[in-house]
């Protein structure tokens, strides 16, 4: 299992699952920078591998993220509301493998039908098509420097995330009955 925790509660959940998993190795990919404690995170939620960090009624988009990008996604909510009059939900998926093991009902409560979703992960977009309609991330080598400068260069900022969220909402606005990316004709055999 690979864990990319976004805060202290998610880190505690990752440690707990790693220590209690008898037949599965674990990797905890921790950030070097200080991260905010997410307002609605709990160890119990994070143990499920994915959960709603910020819920919004009648949301226009779900932003799905992991690790240090979750806090930035939460910050993008304000930019989306103030500058674009859009409402967003934010989902944290600290561990794909654990989230995928949850019931389909639970996973669809986290990433539901009827709303477009955008994933945000700096390191790669690989694998995110399972959880989002659109993906924002680097698929090449990045740059060296202070993380804030590098994030700004590649627009991994609240404004940059909002820009991609607006484009996603605009792209899917005329699509009737948007299905969650979790709803597939069949499951891949791995």
Nearest to 51, CA basis, from 114, 9, 2: 9
pLDDT score at 189:
66
User: 62, 89 in Cβ contact below 8 A?
Assistant: yes
- pLDDT tens string 97-116: 999 999 999 999 999 999 99
User: 127, 96 in Cβ contact below 8 A?
Assistant: yes
- Which residues is 64 bridged to in the sheet? 91, 119
Task: Summarize the confidence of residues 34-48 as an average pLDDT.
Answer: 96
Phi, psi of 18 (to 5 degrees): -60, -40
- The total number of residues written for the chain in this structure: 190
91 vs 141: which has the higher pLDDT: 91
Spans of all domains in the chain: 48-172
* Percent of residues, the chain, with pLDDT higher than 90: 84
Residue 14 banded pLDDT, cuts 50, 70, 90: very high
Is the pLDDT at 141 greater than 80, yes or no? Answer: no
pTM of the model: 0.94
pLDDT score at 190:
58
Task: Summarize the confidence of residues 50-61 as an average pLDDT.
Answer: 97
> Which CATH number is associated with domain 48-172?
3.40.50.920
Average pLDDT, the chain: 94
pLDDT score at 153:
87
């Amino acid at each position: 299992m690979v864990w990319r925790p976004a805060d202290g509660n998610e880190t505690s959940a990752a440690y707990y699952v790693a220590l209690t998993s008898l037949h599965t190795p674990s990797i905890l990919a921790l950030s070097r920078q200080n991260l905010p404690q997410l307002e609605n995170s709990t160890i119990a939620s994070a143990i499920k591998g994915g959960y709603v960090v910020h819920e919004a009624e009648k949301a226009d988009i779900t932003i799905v993220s992991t690790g240090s990008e979750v806090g930035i996604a939460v910050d993008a909510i304000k930019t989306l509301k103030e500058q674009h009059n859009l409402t967003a939900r934010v989902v944290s998926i600290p561990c794909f493998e654990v989230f995928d093991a949850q019931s389909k009902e639970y996973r669809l409560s986290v990433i539901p039908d009827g709303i477009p979703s955008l994933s945000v992960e700096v390191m790669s977009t690989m694998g995110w098509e399972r959880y989002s309609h659109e993906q924002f991330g680097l698929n090449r080598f990045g740059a060296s420097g202070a993380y804030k400068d590098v994030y700004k260069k590649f627009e991994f900022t609240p404004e940059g995330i909002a820009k991609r969220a607006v484009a996603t909402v605009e792209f899917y606005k005329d699509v009737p009955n948007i299905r969650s990316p979790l709803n597939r004709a069949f499951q891949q055999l791995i």
